[in-house]
């Protein structure tokens, strides 16, 4: 398992760094993006629901949320989190930048190889859960 865990850690670090680079012009980080992505698909989540969705440590999550509120990326209404109007406007640009990057990274894989990787990763996730 050590070999698998090492590769997962490497992939996570590389992806995190790449997303940080892609989002630098928006003044967002990888963790910010994870929260924005979760809220895009399910606005009105509580802090606990965001924690469960993103797997970000609660103490760190609260600091990130405070930053996102201060920078007007998200709003809190009745203890529920929502994307700000400005964030809703820039979300398609952010999503496109991430998608284009992901497409570039996997273009050397065949469709079968891609699906095989996804299937194996899903099985690993099930083992950890």
Q: CATH code at 20?
A: 1.10.10.10
Q: How many domains does the chain have?
A: 1
Q: What is the pTM of this model?
A: 0.83
pLDDT tens-place values along the chain, 129 residues long: 688 889 889 999 999 999 999 999 999 999 999 999 999 999 999 999 999 999 999 999 999 999 999 999 999 999 999 999 999 999 999 999 999 998 988 888 898 999 999 999 899 889 887
Question: In sequence order, what are the residues at sequence separation of 6 or more whose Cβ sits closer than 8 angstroms to the Cβ of residue 51?
Answer: 58, 61
Tell me which residue range forms the domain holding 111.
2-128
Helices (H), the chain: 2-23, 30-41, 47-54, 58-70, 85-106, 111-128
Q: Which two tokens stand for residue 121?
A: 């990763």
């Amino acid at each position: 398992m050590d070999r698998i865990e090492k590769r997962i850690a490497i992939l996570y670090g590389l992806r995190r760094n790449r997303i940080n680079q892609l989002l630098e012009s928006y003044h967002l980080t990888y963790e910010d993006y994870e929260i924005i992505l979760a809220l895009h698909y399910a606005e009105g989540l509580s802090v606990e629901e965001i924690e469960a969705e993103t797997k970000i440590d609660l103490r760190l999550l609260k600091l990130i949320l405070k930053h996102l509120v201060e920078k007007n990326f998200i709003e809190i209404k009745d203890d529920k989190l929502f994307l700000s109007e400005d964030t809703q406007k820039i979300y398609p640009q952010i999503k496109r930048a991430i998608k284009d990057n992901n497409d570039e990274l996997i273009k050397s894989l065949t469709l079968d190889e891609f699906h095989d990787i996804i299937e194996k990763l899903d099985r690993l996730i099930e083992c950890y859960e």
